[in-house]
Amino acid sequence: MPEVGEWTASVQPIPETGAIVTELSDVARAFFEGRNFAHVATILPDGSPHVVPVWIDMHGDKIILMTGPNSLKARNLGRDPRVSLSITETDNPYRMAHVRGRAIDRLDGDEGWALVDQIAIKFTGNPYPREQEEIIFVIEPETFFTQSFD
């Protein structure tokens, strides 16, 4: 992993809309490309958070996560695309990254299964079993930071 001095935060407003969209730094990308578990927070109908651990990966400059199409997180993201992700290194939980963003796409069918398998192979070494339906949410980062406590 990078040296402590390379740990950064980034927020880049888009002038036309005021929205914030950012490209993850190499340090932040490394967390999501690595075999690290993330916790994803979505918003319940009453406005409270719902947080669960997930397998996660990168697809281009976007973060992808897999879930069942009827899971609580899928229903939450279908209603409100805002999401927050927290991730630590598996081998050193004192290094972390945090991303806030939006679910901008939901992929199923062959395209979705290809990415589900990409994630499953990363974490298990095998494609994901086909006994249950899985989908992919594509997350566009809006803000992020990385930090090391060691």
pLDDT digits (tens, 9 = 90+) for 24-55: 999 999 999 999 999 999 999 999 999 999 99
Q: What proportion of the chain, given as a percentage, has pLDDT over 70?
A: 86
Give domain limits for the chain: 18-148
How far lies 2's CA from each of 25, 91, 95, 132, 143, in Å? 11, 14, 10, 38, 20
pTM score of the predicted model: 0.86
| Tens of each residue's pLDDT in the chain, 150 residues | 444 445 454 444 434 445 556 789 999 999 999 999 999 999 999 999 999 999 999 999 999 999 999 999 999 999 999 999 999 999 999 999 999 999 999 999 999 999 999 999 999 999 999 999 999 999 999 999 899 888
Strands, E assignment, 1-150: 9-11, 38-43, 49-54, 56-59, 62-67, 82-88, 95-107, 135-148
SS3 (DSSP) at 86: strand
Pairing of strands 95-107, 82-88: antiparallel
Q: Which CATH class for the 18-148 domain?
A: mainly beta
